[in-house]
Structure 1
Amino acid sequence: MLKGLCRFTGVVALVCSTFSSALRADNSTQVYTGTLGKTPIVLEVNPDTGDGRYFYQKYRKDLVLSGTKEGEMLVLEEGDETQPHPSMRLQPTPDGWSGEWTSAEGKVLKVELQQAKLAPVPADTLPYLVQLHDKWPYEYLRLLGLKLKQGQTENFMGYTLQWWSEPQSKIQLFEVVSGYSGQARERINQQLMARLWRGVTGYFECANDYTATNYDQLSQPMWMTTSVMSTVISTDSYCGGSLSDQDNEALNFDAKTGNALTLEDVLWVGQGKPLHFERNYYQDDSSQAWSDYRTEEWTPWLLAQLLRLYPNEMTAKPETEDNDCRYNSEDPWSYPGWYFTEKGIKLAPSYMHSAAACRNTGWSVLPYSVVKQHPGGIALQLP
């Protein structure tokens, strides 16, 4: 399972006859590798506007760029307008850009950039990393060279878990090393390791040299049986701006197949065949039918169930006006987080960053006796 990860540890090579063609991150931005002075960097930029970002390979942290065009020249300003900052002036070359970087103090360094070209990935590379290689080369290059460190082994509900961490970011998650069929375990572990690397990417995207930031992430297995599995990843972060953020993301799996489960796979209260819709982390995918179901059928039904099961909690008056969670309104329950527990499905209401504390409900469990009356699209053995 980890061979693909172990191979994802080489030094970034910039020139090789076997490399693929030049890469574009999407339709508007291009990715370049090269040097600032003598230091290797990776830069992603919209050549029409100059907006973009770059990182030093040694540190991997994003440095945001805003730009203008002066004829063919790109003038890139680093950081924000609250303080003096470095800038780049770049002229196009046949395979990239060439120019100068000037610090806020006036120090000048040469910049040489070529369009990024990546070596093909080995056949056993983690699918998530293959996706980055093919579609998001900037993020692939950011992770290239990082290694996971093996941590403790844990027994949880009769299953053996092996923990792994990335030392620089301290992001960690586990693999399942015993229990479940080999195929199901491989699929589960691929998704767990993808989430670990997503956390590493989030750490480096959050960090910058102009604002004091923090990005702390804690992963915890919640429930594991022969039928289903849940783990929760909790993230506390401050990446600039006026507010910090708290987020809990659950990963839920069908333990028989290893496939990820959506709420509609487990519980369906609509008409017709249950929908199956998964949001894509790197794309703003949407489904109108799914959104309509959530707002028109799911939310009114769930609100009625919670008011019946937890009337005091749902209608509790706030201590202060600023802490008015309004659990008895529909908005928090249209797109809740969820995971399996011993007694039922734990639902976490969704709130904006400013009301993140309202997400922490210890009581909002939908009992399996209710869930089983409204089976979802996949047959599951629930308690």
Structure 2
Amino acid sequence: MTINTVKAQDYLLKGTLGRSTVVVDLIVSGGDAEVTYFYSTTCTDITLRGLKTSGGIAVYATHRSFLVGKNYDTSESIILKQNPDKSWTGTWADKKGKKQPMLLAPLDVATIKHPFADLPVVRQFKATEPYEFVRSYMLPVDRDANPTNKGKLKFKYIKLRGTSVKLLFLTEGLESAMMAKVNNMMINKFIEFACSYCSCAANIGAPSYEYNIENLYLSENILSVYVTFQYFCKGEPHADGGEEPINIDLKTGEELELEDLLYLSKVAVPEPGSAKWFAYREKVYAPQLVALLQGLHPKQMAYKEDCNYNGVKLWVNPEWYINDKGLYISPVFPREIAPCRNPEWSFVPFKVVNERKNPGKKIVLP
């Protein structure tokens, strides 16, 4: 994080705070200093800000109150100095005067043998965010002792210890290579979710971060998970939230696109997320989707002043997942009218999905 326009010096360090192992990201930019660190037992960020001094740095944990417009609660402080051998030594103190020694040394991520080094998120962390790379390596996780049965499939949850963050991985029911492919996709997502939770340093105390698995559909052919988040991270003026659908074809190990299940146009689909893709979705796909939903749910799709579900732009990039009824699909409303999102009625029955799915794909649905 750059704290002003002066080129920053960024130090990735590992060592001890008292008897505890910590990983530290120290940024010095001009006369400013910032320390973000986590204990190996939790991996949850603590951020302190302060100044570069003639003898080193002095930083303090301050929490910004957007209600009263000022900083308060200097719950801890750290004073550090760099030694000739590039190590850092200093003292941590809380506001009651309790002190602990700190001893830190530079950490080279090339020395870390990450068990998931080949996953996309881990490769990205190593290349661009070494602090997150170290965190992803040290995440404290638990796994279910016993699997859950779902037909011929069995799965367990992997969980970020002490939190609600979890995601399933398969243990039986697929050919080994396919199961490994699917599980790598799920572990990749889990690492994203867990690191996101850990980096959400709260305004006060522990991170204000709610994580829920709202939908889990698992058959021999399809895995569909829908995760929601509500969070209030340090430095943010208001709470926010988001959703993350995961939809995987268990016969191919590929993540499904909405066009795979609702093939509403023969127009070639541009690269997802590109400018051409958004134009295609708005001009071609979304109008067809609205027409389909108007036919399936005419009363609910009728114009209403509070939630006008006929707006084409609301359906350009909808959230969607598979449940027992069929394909659930939700429009995306602005934050100020978020209550209009996720209507209960907004689904396409399996019968219709089977009629409209992409004929070029071998997707098996009920």
TMscore range, shorter length: 0.7 to 0.9
Q: Does 1:293 align with 2:288?
A: no
1:307 is matched with 294
1:261 is matched with 256
For structure 1, which runs of at least 5 residues remain unmatched after alignment?
Answer: 1-26, 278-285, 319-323
In the TM superposition, what are the counterparts of 1:1-150 in structure 2 within 5 Å?
Answer: 29-48=10-29, 50-51=33-34, 53-69=36-52, 73-80=56-63, 81-93=71-83, 94-105=85-96, 109-118=100-109, 119-121=111-113, 127=119, 130-131=122-123, 134-135=126-127, 136-143=129-136, 144=138, 146-150=140-144
2:176 to 182, 188, 200: 182
Q: Does 1:345 align with 2:327?
A: yes
Letter of the 1:117 counterpart: D
- My pick for the range that moved more, 267-276 or 301-310, is 267-276
Q: Secondary structure at the match of 1:46?
A: strand
In the TM superposition, what are the counterparts of 1:348-363 in structure 2 within 5 Å?
Answer: 348-363=330-345
Q: Secondary structure at the match of 2:198?
A: helix
Tell me, in whole angstroms, the C-alpha distance in 2 between the residues paired with 1:268 and 1:74. Answer: 59
Question: Residues 105-126 of structure 1, C-alpha deviation per residue, up to 9 Å, x if partnerless?
Answer: 5555544332222434267767
2:317 to 331, 335, 338: 335
Instruction: Pick the structure with more strand per residue.
Output: 2
Residues 316 and 140 of structure 1: is their aligned pair in 2 closer, same or farther, counting only changes over 3 Å? same
Question: Residues 12-34 of structure 1, C-alpha deviation per residue, up to 9 Å, x if partnerless?
Answer: xxxxxxxxxxxxxxx97542212
Residues 159 and 145 of structure 1: is their aligned pair in 2 closer, same or farther, counting only changes over 3 Å? closer
Q: Secondary structure at the match of 2:72?
A: coil
Q: How many residues get paired?
A: 344
Residues 147 and 180 of structure 1: is their aligned pair in 2 closer, same or farther, counting only changes over 3 Å? same
2:5 is matched with none
TM-superposed CA distance for 1:337, in Å, is 1.3
**CA RMSD in angstroms, aligned pairs only:** 3.7
In the TM superposition, what are the counterparts of 1:201-212 in structure 2 within 5 Å?
Answer: 201-206=195-200, 208=202, 210-211=204-205
Q: Secondary structure at the match of 1:176?
A: strand
Tell me, in whole angstroms, the C-alpha distance in 2 between the residues paired with 1:72 and 1:266. Answer: 63
Residues 293 and 82 of structure 1: is their aligned pair in 2 closer, same or farther, counting only changes over 3 Å? farther
Residues 151 and 349 of structure 1: is their aligned pair in 2 closer, same or farther, counting only changes over 3 Å? farther
TM-superposed CA distance for 1:363, in Å, is 1.4
Letter of the 1:163 counterpart: Y
Tell me, in whole angstroms, the C-alpha distance in 1 between the residues paired with 2:94 and 2:102. Answer: 13
Letter of the 1:84 counterpart: T
> TM-score w.r.t. structure 1 length?
0.73
1:366 is matched with 348
Q: Secondary structure at the match of 1:350?
A: coil
Q: Which has the higher contact order (CA 8 A, sep 6+)?
A: 1
Contact map agreement 1:50 1:67 (CA 8 A) in 2: yes
Contact map agreement 2:23 2:39 (CA 8 A) in 1: yes
2:246 is matched with 251
For structure 2, which runs of at least 5 residues remain unmatched after alignment?
Answer: 1-7, 64-70
Q: Secondary structure at the match of 2:255?
A: coil
